[in-house]
Structure 1
Amino acid sequence: MNQFSRYLKDSRAFTLIELLIVSGLVGIVMAAVLGLVVTTQRHTYTSEEVVDVQQNLRVALDFMSCDLRHAGLGVAADAIILEAPAGLRCEDGNGDGDCLDSGESDFLHFQTVTATGEIARIGVDGGVTTTSDEQTIALSDQKSARLLLPEGEDSAPVYVRIFRPSNRTQPLDRVFKVKAVDHEADPPTLTVTGFIESTVLRPGDLLVRVDDPDLDGDGDPNTDPPQHPNQVDYRLVKADTDDPDQFDLVRVPTGVDPDDETTFQRVAGKIVDVQFQYLLEDGSETAPAVGSDLERIRAIRITLVAATDATRTGNANFNPGQGDNVKTRTLSTVVELRNR
């Protein structure tokens, strides 16, 4: 018998029991690895949604803070510039799927000279007395001139009002159409049309952009002029999710249909609560602010709460055994009303 035959005689195959034991051990190890992968993946998804929630809050606070710093600009000194609720709510009282009907929501409402926030200042070389329908005006800087550029050849016309901050008046109570902007000139210039009488423009006067809804469809903003001062509302609307506690924070400026939420500006999602505290001139705080307190508001403390979606990563079954997995985050800031 040669050496190869002896090897074949002494060798043995795995038994069925050994194969079953090995298969069982491999299955246990693979199940443990798969469970670890799934758990890690779920924690990753949750962490990503928490980051999204925090970013939403930062964007919302930055947006609202910038907006509210313009509150009262261009508004008479004795006017009420703000409606001041304790918070925002969205309750679908009639079951039609939204909270746009009367009494279904509270909203923060304020007035300002321009809802777009786009403002250019007439420069030292821009003081003129207009003598024709069209006038070219020198501006103070290139950055503000670029704000009034039309967005493209097919974009809607850009309209402005002229506002004099020294006495909170308009030299001419009209809306003017921007015909041309030369932001590369020194100084930059803006050409507008719409002067119907001789008007004195002074250095320091403001050109403020306004949106014209053109409700009468005639293309002339002065036959049905945009509201002055402009109005901005912040409110909550139903979010596109099955989670009933989540809302979108939206901005509704002058020129937007308040009954058509498809035209609202979405500021942030995943919002579950919005609260306000109003700091008065004597240092006290109140919420809501009503009556004479409205005239004494000097700053607003905004507190926003957002959360992960209870029907997705926040679902109790998403991480079994851990109960409610909804993660909430809160951010707060104080905004001074500079124009009061």
Structure 2
Amino acid sequence: MRCVINNNKGFTLVELLVVTVVAGLAIVGMYATYSSTQKTTVNQENLVDVQQNLRVSLNLIDKDIKMAEALVPAGTTGIAVGSNATTLNLVTASAFYAFARIADDEEVTLAETSQQFDINVPTSVDRFEVGDTVRIIRPQDGAQPFDPVNDASNNNELLVTAVDRTGPTITIGNFSHTTSLQYKEGDIIALVNDANDAPDPSTIVWDLNGTDLRRNDGDNDDDGSGTLDADETGPDIIVNDIASIAFDYLLEDSTEVTAPTAAQLEDIRAVRVTLTANATRQLDGQVRARSLSSITYLRN
């Protein structure tokens, strides 16, 4: 007589269904966690990008404000007429931050239309190229021994005709004068707008065009070369997606105004700049606004 023992083991259909449901719930839970983490990560990255754009923009505006009124004629204010809550008009010797200090006294005689100037800081000549338009300014009062804009001979521009980076020297031509010109050690060569009848001093305008934060230096020089290239046809767009901009002007008596009068311009001691941007590329569909603000004091 044989005894057969049946010891087969397995899962019932109910057990399989239960395992499938539990596994499905676990997968759904893990996906929900992953999706939420992904959204949070992307949202935070977008917010960081917005914050970084605001910070870079504020730094550029702060730099311009600090340079306002630098090496300009006496009596010229760094904050210009037309500045208000949404537009900031600044005046400076060079909107391109390109300056070179003359190392020795030089005389441009009546017979000379050009002059080579020794420069005391070699690296300062790197911002200058042949064909650039320049002014030569006396730091003490912002005066110019030769003023191209106010010159009677058709507003001749002073032009760079040669640059020696090893000398270092900068040669400037197109002088047109009726008396000899005396330049002193310490006089400053400043790169300015290359347009005929360029503004003197240079002007910088910050404003908002739609959502584009713009810096207009007068000749719309996008690459900072000091010359207007064929593809440079408008003000520099510093950053997009700016929701609002606000300028507040702090006066000497500690009051604040948003639209200074002409009489108040010389009393402005600082400017508060507030930029607001929206982080619109949010995976959760939310629009999150971020603002940064800074107060910059005029140094000149």
Bin for the TM-score computed over the shorter chain: 0.7 to 0.9
Task: Count residues with an aligned counterpart.
Answer: 277
1:209 is the counterpart of 2:191: yes
Q: CA deviation at 1:227?
A: 2.0
Q: Given residue 272 of structure 2, which amino acid in structure 1 is its aligned partner? A: R
1:233 is the counterpart of 2:233: no
Contact persistence 2:220–2:236 (CA under 8 A): no
For residue 172 of structure 1, what is the aligned residue in structure 2? 146
TM alignment of 1:64-79, pairs within 5 A? 64-79=61-76
User: d(CA) in 2 for partners of 1:274 and 1:83?
Assistant: 18
User: d(CA) in 1 for partners of 2:96 and 2:189?
Assistant: 12
1:284 is the counterpart of 2:252: no
For residue 92 of structure 1, what is the aligned residue in structure 2? none
User: d(CA) in 2 for partners of 1:63 and 1:148?
Assistant: 21
Q: What is the CA RMSD across the aligned residues, in angstroms?
A: 2.8
1:266 is the counterpart of 2:237: yes
Contact persistence 1:59–1:267 (CA under 8 A): no
For residue 7 of structure 2, what is the aligned residue in structure 1? 10
For residue 224 of structure 2, what is the aligned residue in structure 1? none
For residue 94 of structure 1, what is the aligned residue in structure 2? none
User: d(CA) in 2 for partners of 1:84 and 1:178?
Assistant: 33
Q: Deviations over 1:167-199 (max 9, x none)?
A: 3222112332223333333xx221222223442
Q: Deviations over 1:77-133 (max 9, x none)?
A: 334542365522xxxxxxxxxxxxxxxxxx21122222212111112x3x1112433
Q: CA deviation at 1:251?
A: 0.3
TM alignment of 1:11-50, pairs within 5 A? 11-50=8-47
For residue 327 of structure 1, what is the aligned residue in structure 2? 288
User: d(CA) in 2 for partners of 1:262 and 1:130?
Assistant: 36
Contact persistence 1:67–1:117 (CA under 8 A): no
Q: CA deviation at 1:282?
A: 2.4
Report SS of the residue matched to 1:263.
coil
Report SS of the residue matched to 1:192.
strand
Q: Unaligned stretches of 5+ in structure 2?
A: 149-156, 222-230
Using the size of structure 2 for normalisation, the TM-score is 0.81
User: d(CA) in 2 for partners of 1:35 and 1:234?
Assistant: 45
Q: Given residue 134 of structure 2, which amino acid in structure 1 is its aligned partner? A: V
Contact persistence 1:149–1:181 (CA under 8 A): yes
Q: Deviations over 1:121-164 (max 9, x none)?
A: 112x3x111243332211121232222247xxxxxx32211122
Using the size of structure 1 for normalisation, the TM-score is 0.73
Q: CA deviation at 1:261?
A: 9.6
Q: Given residue 212 of structure 2, which amino acid in structure 1 is its aligned partner? A: D
Could you tell me the percent identity over the aligned residues?
34
Contact persistence 2:98–2:127 (CA under 8 A): yes
1:250 is the counterpart of 2:239: no
Report SS of the residue matched to 1:33.
helix
Q: CA deviation at 1:74?
A: 4.2
- With over 3 angstroms needed to count, the CA separation of the structure-2 counterparts of 1:85 and 1:182, relative to structure 1, is closer
Q: Unaligned stretches of 5+ in structure 1?
A: 89-106, 151-156, 214-223, 239-246
User: d(CA) in 1 for partners of 2:114 and 2:8?
Assistant: 104
For residue 144 of structure 1, what is the aligned residue in structure 2? 124
Report SS of the residue matched to 2:59.
helix
For residue 199 of structure 1, what is the aligned residue in structure 2? 181
User: d(CA) in 2 for partners of 1:273 and 1:209?
Assistant: 32
For residue 82 of structure 1, what is the aligned residue in structure 2? 80
User: d(CA) in 1 for partners of 2:17 and 2:132?
Assistant: 78
Aligned with 1:130 (options 82, 101, 108): 108
Contact persistence 2:101–2:187 (CA under 8 A): yes
User: d(CA) in 2 for partners of 1:134 and 1:289?
Assistant: 43
For residue 169 of structure 2, what is the aligned residue in structure 1? 189
